[in-house]
Chains A and B, each alone.
Chain A
């Protein structure tokens, strides 16, 4: 991993079109400003991982359990 030290107000370019600025540091929190191409998506890592995890789990769910849940809901629905 490339490690660099930056002070608040200083920034980095990743390639030509990604600009990362350290805006401020307060205690354990670092505020970061990102300028990225419009088509590029930025996710917080924990959110991205959670969604990936949930997608995978929803594949592994047992089909019979699913059928039971679907039927269960059907009867609740009027």
Chain B
């Protein structure tokens, strides 16, 4: 049943109900969609791939992925002005999304676009797209990450073998690298 805390919207997945508390405000919109300020993250299956859906325009639903689920060590540069816009503080939690390129009929060749990460202040629900001027490579094929997975796990296991390591390192190592690193603390210099 619909109540005042929820809004029914039309999306790429058809009709969806969005809790008002989950609406993300984009003060500057998204690049190319500067007039749209309210979005929600929708998902149909449990996955790190989501749809960033405009609350106002059913056709504007960007296919995105949680960056740190796939590239836990990738650094996104956030300038001073952007920090202010996002109201980020030292310990603010952020979610970083990147758009996906999915070749028609070839979902296995999906890649992440790293030039325009979308940073969200998780607690305050403020979002901002922050173009990065010198990201190399600009795209990462997901299959290339799967090939690196064994190496990734080998590293995690190595860390686990050292019981003397600091608690924080251990915690990090024990984390499922792809599943649980989606939210992390933003470091502000």
Contacts and interface: CB of A to CB of B under 8 A. Distances in A.
Contacts, number: 114
Contacts of A74: 45-47
Contacts of A56: 32
Nearest to A51: B116
Contacts of A41: 81-82
B146 to A, nearest CB: 6
A77 to B, nearest CB: 5
Contact of A47 (B12, B64, B132): B132
Contacts of A34: none
A65 interface: yes
A67 B102 contact: no
Nearest to A67: B44
A47 B102 contact: no
Contacts of B116: 50-51, 54-55
Contacts of A51: 31-32, 115-116, 129, 131
A62 B106 CA distance: 10
Given A47-B132, A55-B30, A77-B178, A65 B102 contact: yes
A35 B51 CA distance: 37
Interface centre among A48, A52, A70 (most CB of B within 10 A): A70
8 A-B pairs with the lowest CB-CB distances in the bound complex, closest first: A51-B116, A69-B107, A58-B99, A52-B32, A68-B107, A70-B49, A70-B47, A54-B113
